[in-house]
Structure 1
């Protein structure tokens, strides 16, 4: 996309955002649907259930209905272009995918699955690419610092994935799909619910030949330091189990398991194949009678495991485990609500590479007060974390909202957050620095949103300063707390209906600057586009549903010196669904239909035109 056309596209997107309308979640234009969405219960923004209309933090929600309408191939495709989100991918399906919220680092996002903290304790970042959407019920994205509730890592925000639950006494279904690059997928599920409890079991398999992930250079070995012009495939086998039981009138217990077993091929000098495992196990016990008191007790474990190979020969193993437990009490006091709690986490590394220290504990205590005062809402939270490695860290958040009309809300917030150093930063042999301190941030935000029968809209502006960023010291070749950044941005979103078509749009403006001094002062932080956006348009014609998504991203730089530029791009995806009967549907998705060639990480290719045809049996509930 040229500079002129990108500028024109941004102007059109901005006009649509202001004229059309949206709220922080996908709000439909019909008045009854609008009310249903705003009354939808979310939990991630405050660690307690509350209607979306009461949430003060900038929050986006994707429901199962959204996922089935948009027909995204992956979690990456679902999230790209949404407010505050920028993504990079290293070579197509299953390859490393990094997500940044509001321009923060890619390990500044806390990732939860059913309340269980996920991510590699060695690398410090989660593996978004390995979570298949067939198992996902909903996704909640909270933008802005949330360390005052969740502790480390929530500098840019929190993304929580909830696995599927049954919606009928008996609910079986299955699906089959085939597409480009000899890709195929299959999934099957069974579930049910009754007065005493519920259960859900789902299995899926996905496999693709993929594409040549790294284009490389045969003479200089630039890029991935090798020349392997082959197809880099990916395989994903996932099972999820979720169930709950009522224990009398006040108690309820729930357990969840999600396990991904995968195989990933890529281009590399020292390793080029990996067997991977992502696993989330959690259990929750809740007490509540609908009165002023509720208790929640939970325990879980997140695992990130990888065995790395070079042409079939084992080279290394990196396994990390995060054991965790929490207790929380919620007390209704007048028009306010007090939440207090504590959580504990133990991170452990089991690796063929020896670490001087391979285990550490963290204990956090937190409190939150939420109060409604007429047209005003206040949320105040504070937390103290005591980490076995780096000591104590205190964070806080203050948020205020004013419904100055029945349809408009003005909000403002200040918050602090931190990122704990990962085990690789601290202890990797020969390259770690055990003297590192946590990265820290302070953020200001102001927002305005409207809720109307015809749709809604939202605008959020923020200014964040991050200190003690970890970077490699050019003299000592070890990581040190030497970098700073200042990130400013504006997020716009809109949603309405026009002539029978549902329209949803978002646009992001970002100014992510290096504030460390020296030669890179005021350079743009790498791999963050300054402008991005997305437009979704959908309509249902009797038994046929059609839709399109246009996602655009401006240029970005691949290095801190801003000498390696990656061009901007726009992709167009088309989708059609045909309900052959009430229970059977056939769905075709065509992605990047204009075969746009682009990269989000230098040298690592992205898929051109590709398609997927899927058959699904899903009995009407």
Structure 2
């Protein structure tokens, strides 16, 4: 399968003259309607497909270099977990077309097992979002979206890259649509021996290879201007070997398999709209304590979900939205310390939105979740946008959010605690957006407090989770964007800086893996002959223990990447990419250095 993308790419280079005649693009349908609504009172960071290909190795690199997220990664391409605004990986929600994909067992998403090149675009929303997305949307959310277009004919996007450490990344995306019907086929494959070394630390990434493949199919049918039915599905299969420090150590590996499907009916008329979703997700995990033997533990989970958003606009500039949701979750384990748990979840939310003239927008919402054997808090949110001046916009968002205990927290045997309460948080942020011609500056100070945090602690003989600590985070994010057109050329500058103070209120010590300072930025220059980009990331001192021990902390680092894309023909581009061009020695997780200078060369065909 790994050669399919190369053959398809070569084939496309010879057949670009046969590409379909371009027609006017009609409406583009995106499954996550709630994300669009959130943009009026919160910052949304959007990453296009072209920007994803600046970091095509994995999702960790995209989030690390193009967003304020801190990604803790046990070596390149290995198990990875995010931290945003000082929260944990379990307090970050990952959504696939608006459907949560965090693990039922751990409550978090392994960033490098989600995939990357199957999606049309990715969005990141800082701040709480439990009103729209339920459990886990505390510090922020990552949105992986597919879109369907109509009236565009036949088109495709083929990409293949080969790089250092025998790394292969490839994807194929084919679209065909008319004014009534839309189809999309996408597949992606990545693998790497990942056998890099860092001589300064006497480190070799032994047993670090990985492989991931995925296949997706989307289709849509437009009955009329107000009714569209569309379907998304995705299958994935991943393999990760876990690095060892010495050759004689026992080598382990981890296999994941997943299936996702979503049926979405979108209805709209002058005064009423309805968005109905039916989703089924399945995840399977198999762990091999010795790669030469059969699996030692395993587990699988299933999620069935029904979501509905009904909106009324009978009164001018006033929108009423009723959001309802039902989930059935179940799991089973194989020698994994878990029984076979099940639970049902329901939720209802009421959202009111009002536009006051041309300058003021407000929204308010409440939500109540109904979860078997768990007493969940009443959630609320309030948002506002004020156009204070032609160049200055204020955004305010206040919300209460939560995270329910995972299956591992409740049912792990021995040690699970069925009496756990949900974590809950209160957050406030105040966005200040300044815009002058093609330059935009956004300053977003925030405060977040989390209570009843779930923490596994040693008991008399075993580890058990308890609701213990409270934590608070505060700081600010600064985003800068600039665009200029110089003749036939284009210049784009994007940057993000975060200042974060995050402390355990009991110990008054900083939380682990939360750098106080982080900066990322990208400069791109595009011409008709190609493009060039320069990308940088600075990460400040990062503690790896709960006692702020500087001897074990990760040192500050600055990593620079660069790349060039050369237009060989109207439909074929050659890309050359260099990562960590100054050979910076850096880590995102203690004991696991990231690679030194490495390269990739790619071909991309769009037709």
TM-score (norm 2): 0.88
Q: Does the residue aligned with 1:107 lie in a helix, a strand or coil? A: helix
> In the TM superposition, what is the alpha-carbon distance from 1:312 to its structure 2 partner?
2.8
Give, in angstroms, the shift of residue 365 of structure 1.
0.4
- 2:499 and 2:516 in contact (8 A); partners too: yes
Distance in 1 of aligned mates of 2:302 and 2:197: 29
The 3 A distance-change label for structure 1 pair 173 and 62 is: closer
Instruction: Name the CA distance, whole Å, in 2 between partners of 1:358 and 1:581.
Output: 56
Using a 3 Å threshold, how does the CA distance of structure 1 residues 356 and 43 change in structure 2: closer, same or farther? closer
Verify the 8 A CA contact 1:213 1:604 in the aligned structure 2: no
Structure 2 residue 442 is matched with structure 1 residue 458: yes
One of 69, 80, 99 as aligned partner of 2:82: 99
Retained in 1: the 8 A contact 2:422–2:452? yes
Aligned length: 562
Partner SS state of residue 86, structure 2: coil
- Residue 239 of structure 1 is matched in structure 2 by 215
Q: Give the match for residue 47 of structure 1.
A: 34
Equivalence for 1:573 = 561
* Whole-Å separation in 2 of the counterparts to 1:480 and 1:418: 16
Contact 2:31 2:98 in 1 (8 A): no
| SS of equivalent to 2:109 | coil
Counterpart selection for 2:306 from 318, 325, 331: 325
Q: Which moved more, 1:76-85 or 1:400-409?
A: 76-85
Distance 2:89 2:164 in 1: 29
Whole-angstrom CA distance in 1 between matches of 2:439 and 2:28: 15
- The range that moved more, 170-179 or 293-302, is 170-179
| Secondary structure in 2 matching 1:426 | helix
Deviation per residue, 1:440-487 (Å, 9 max, x gap): 101121120023322211000011111111112344431101111010
Q: 1:559 aligns with which of 545, 554, 564?
A: 545
Instruction: State the Cα distance separating 1:71 from its structure 2 match.
Output: 4.8
Distance 1:405 1:43, change over 3 A: farther
Map of 1:593 onto structure 2: 581
How far has the Cα of 1:155 moved from its partner? 0.7
Kept in 2: contact 1:151–1:383 (CA 8 A): no
Contact between 2:337 and 2:414, CA under 8 Å: does it hold in 1? no
SS in 2 for 1:211: coil
| SS across alignment from 1:80 | helix
* Secondary structure class of the residue paired with 1:473: strand
Correspondence for 1:404: 388
Shift of 1:48: 6.7
Say which SS state the counterpart of residue 376 (structure 2) adopts.
Answer: strand
Out of 239, 246, 250, the position equivalent to 1:263 is 239
Matches of 1:42 and 1:449, distance apart in 2: 26
1:150 aligns to what?
A: 133
**Alpha-carbon displacement from aligned partner over 1:315-346 (angstroms, at most 9, x marks no partner):** 11121222111122011131121110210112
Shift of 1:135: 1.3
| Per-residue Cα deviation, 1:293-334 (whole angstroms, up to 9, x for no partner) | 011111112232211112232111121222111122011131
Of 542, 546, 549, 2:528 maps to 542
Superimposed CA distance per residue, residues 538-568 of structure 1 (whole angstroms, 9 cap, x where no aligned partner): 1123312111101110011112122221111
Cα contact 2:30–2:147 (8 A) shared by 1? no
Offset at 1:395?
Answer: 0.5
Distance 1:56 1:197, change over 3 A: same
Q: Which has the higher contact order (CA 8 A, sep 6+)?
A: 1
Aligned with 2:124 (options 114, 122, 141): 141
> Structure 1: which 5+ runs fail to align?
1-38, 219-226
Which of 492, 503, 517 in structure 2 is aligned with 1:531? 517
Counterpart residue number, 2:341: 358
Alignment counterpart, residue 57 of structure 1, candidates 30, 37, 42: 42
CA RMSD of superposed structures (Å): 2.5
Query: 1:27 maps to what in 2?
Result: none
Aligned to 1:66: 51
Q: CA deviation at 1:501?
A: 3.2
**1:17 alignment partner in structure 2:** none
How far 1:83 sits from its partner (Å)? 5.0
2:173 — aligned with what?
189
Deviation of the 1:364 alpha carbon? 0.4
Distance 2:356 2:119 in 1: 37
- Following superposition, the deviation at residue 152 of structure 1 comes to 1.0
Distance change (3 Å), C-alpha of 1:104 and 1:274: same
What is the aligned partner in structure 2 of residue 283 from structure 1? 263
The structural deviation recorded for 1:431 is 2.0
Distance 2:540 2:29 in 1: 35
Distance 1:190 1:504 in 2: 30
- 1:505 to 2:495 alignment: yes
CA distance in 2, matches of 1:142, 1:112: 11
Write the deviation string for residues 5-59 of structure 1: whole angstroms up to 9, x where unpaired: xxxxxxxxxxxxxxxxxxxxxxxxxxxxxxxxxx999885x71745x8x611121
1:411 Cα offset (Å): 2.2
- Alignment partner, residue 113 of structure 1: 96
1:228/1:592 CA distance change after superposition, 3 Å: closer
Q: Does 1:445 align with 2:412?
A: no
Question: How many angstroms apart in 2 are the aligned matches of 1:343 and 1:504?
Answer: 37
Deviations along 1:550-597, one digit per CA (max 9) or x if unpaired, are 111001111212222111111000010011000111111111111212
CA contact (8 A) 2:167 2:190 kept: yes
Give the whole-Å Cα distance in 1 for the aligned partners of 2:511 and 2:188: 38
For residues 149 and 563 of structure 2, what CA distance do their matches in structure 1 show?
26
Q: Distance in 1 between matches of 2:495 and 2:31?
A: 24
Q: 1:15 aligns to what?
A: none
Query: Given the superposition, is the C-alpha separation of residues 572 and 341 from structure 1 closer, same or farther in structure 2, using an over 3 Å criterion?
Result: same
- Counterpart CA distance in 2 for 1:415 and 1:40 is 30
1:372 aligns with 2:355: yes
Matches within 5 A, 1:196-207: 196-207=180-191
Structure 1 length-normalised TM: 0.86
Per the TM alignment, residue 163 of structure 1 is displaced from its structure 2 partner at its CA by 2.4
Q: Secondary structure at the match of 1:47?
A: helix
